[in-house]
Structure 1
Amino acid sequence: MTESIATQLKQASNGLLFLSETDAPFEVVRWPTQEELTPAKLLQLTEHPPDAPVEMRTVDDFFAIATQEEDWHDEEERETVKRFQNLVSVLKQNLSQLQVYRVGNINIDAYIIGMTPSGGLVGLSTKLVET
Structure 2
Amino acid sequence: MTNEITEKLKQASDGLLMMSESEYPFEVFLWSNQVQEPITAQKVLQLTGHSLETSVEEVELDYLFRNCAVEKEWYDEIQKQNVPKFKSLVKTLKDNLTDIKVYRLGTINIDVYIVGKTPSGDLAAISTKVVET
Counterpart for residue 19 of structure 1: 19
Question: How much has 1:73 moved relative to structure 2?
Answer: 3.6
Change (3 A) 1:63 1:5: same
In the TM superposition, what whole-angstrom CA distance separates every residue of 1:59-97 from its partner, at most 9, and x where no partner exists? 000001001112444543322000000000000000000
Query: What TM-score do the two structures reach when normalised by structure 1?
Result: 0.95
Counterpart for residue 7 of structure 1: 7
Q: Give ranges in structure 2 of 5+ residues lacking alignment.
A: none
Aligned residues: 131
SS class of match (1:128) = strand
Counterpart for residue 120 of structure 2: 118
Q: Give ranges in structure 1 of 5+ residues lacking alignment.
A: none
Distance (Å, rounded) in 2 between the aligned partners of 1:98 and 1:122: 10
User: How high is the sequence identity, in percent, across the aligned residues?
Assistant: 49
Distance (Å, rounded) in 2 between the aligned partners of 1:72 and 1:106: 25
Worse overlay, 96-105 or 71-80 = 71-80
Q: Match for 2:15: what amino acid?
A: G
Counterpart for residue 71 of structure 2: 69
Q: Match for 2:65: what amino acid?
A: F
Q: Match for 1:46: what amino acid?
A: T
Query: What TM-score do the two structures reach when normalised by structure 2?
Result: 0.93
Instruction: Tell me if 1:50 matches 2:52.
Output: yes
Instruction: Tell me if 1:28 matches 2:28.
Output: yes
Q: Which of the numbers 94, 97, 108 marks the counterpart of 2:96?
A: 94
In the TM superposition, structure 1's runs of 4+ consecutive aligned residues that sit over 6 Å from their partners are none
Distance (Å, rounded) in 1 between the aligned partners of 2:8 and 2:92: 7
SS class of match (2:71) = coil
